[in-house]
A = this chain, B = another copy of it.
């Protein structure tokens, strides 16, 4: 049977599990799937399309004969092994931050900048989850009305920090309900010095702090948005700033997005009409019937849900909206597989 030989690196992780599902459901012809992870996870049994598959340790030779390698095992793994995969003829779609800011490497959301894929040299970077769902909604607005400025505050799910963080949320939550002390060992950032409970709390730190007082997650939202929408991570054409906050939700990020457009005639109705027709977007915007996007409803969907679109009553050309998407699917596994599907349609993916 003719089809692509696919490797999933980081198959035992929270995103890896979704990557397996997305490859099961992909429109790409798949000949074989190889599940890769660290030596610690090697030997584990997972399933692909109902059949057992053994996880193998990632080594350079793992990528012999691989056409498509999906990476989500941390930046250091990508830096070490993505070039090995490319050397052996694979296209790499990398879901870590390892290559995102490399100007030679496309950073792609298929609804926004598929053309950037043409310039790839083997590696395509998948943006950060919180960026993806924002630009999917902002790009149709930018195209129709121009975009001057974005101010976003996020309400991010715990799954973005991995399976251990999710277990920590469950453990802390049960401890709280039982009147016991909550123990934090992972969040807000597993590698940082201090850890705080996320259950019944809101943590205004995702990723480590930069010198300017922004977290690296906020930095990513600012500069990835510019690279994806304007092909320049430092572009001044759209002003972007962000506050990133973790809340006790397992899956699906929510975002409060304030934006200013160039077109002085743009109305809420115009923006709703544009978003209703935009790819990857589901408009849920009917306050009279209490219809608006919710994390609880977005889990498991590949779409980005947008609602609560309304004008700033005092600043012309300024609007607000509420944007929710499954951070593990559109924010990670689905966007990665969607990149591969888009590359195939553009003739950029090949069987060896």
A280-323 near B? 1/0 per residue, CB < 8 Å: 00000001111011111000000000011111111100101010
Main DSSP-derived SS at the A contact region:
mixed
Task: Report the minimum CB–CB distance from A300 to chain B (whole Å).
Answer: 14
Closest B residue by C-beta to A312: B241
Partner of A213, one of B201, B205, B209, B287: B287
Task: Report the minimum CB–CB distance from A341 to chain B (whole Å).
Answer: 30
A41: interface (CB < 8 Å): no
Chain B contacts for A293, CB-based, 8 A:
204
Partner of A308, one of B173, B243, B324: B243
Task: Report the minimum CB–CB distance from A296 to chain B (whole Å).
Answer: 4
A226-264: which have CB < 8 Å to B? 236, 239-241, 243, 245, 247-250, 254, 256, 258
Partner of A290, one of B193, B197, B201, B258: B193
Given A204-B292, A247-B248, the answer on whether A314 and B254 have CB atoms closer than 8 Å is no
Number of copies: 2
A151: interface (CB < 8 Å): yes
A15-38 near B? 1/0 per residue, CB < 8 Å: 000000000000000000000000
A170: interface (CB < 8 Å): yes
Contact B202 A295 (CB under 8 A): yes
Closest B residue by C-beta to A314: B239
Contact A249 B294 (CB under 8 A): no
Contact A205 B151 (CB under 8 A): no
A119: interface (CB < 8 Å): no
Contact A201 B295 (CB under 8 A): yes
A149-178: which have CB < 8 Å to B? 149, 151, 153, 155, 170, 173-174, 177
Chain B contacts for A245, CB-based, 8 A:
155, 254, 256
Closest B residue by C-beta to A170: B177
Task: Report the minimum CB–CB distance from A281 to chain B (whole Å).
Answer: 17
Contact B296 A197 (CB under 8 A): yes
Task: Please measure, in the bound complex, the distance between the C-alpha atom of A309 and the C-alpha atom of B290, giving whole angstroms.
Answer: 34
Contact A314 B173 (CB under 8 A): no
Given A151-B151, A177-B170, A204-B322, the answer on whether A192 and B290 have CB atoms closer than 8 Å is yes
Q: List 28 A-B contacts (CB under 8 A).
A: A151-B312, A153-B256, A173-B173, A173-B177, A174-B177, A193-B290, A194-B290, A200-B250, A201-B295, A202-B254, A204-B254, A204-B292, A204-B307, A209-B287, A209-B290, A212-B311, A213-B287, A213-B309, A213-B310, A222-B313, A240-B314, A241-B258, A241-B314, A243-B256, A243-B258, A243-B320, A247-B248, A256-B256
Besides A243-B256, A248-B249, 9 more A-B contacts (Cβ < 8 Å) are: A153-B153, A177-B177, A197-B296, A202-B295, A209-B288, A212-B313, A239-B312, A243-B320, A247-B248
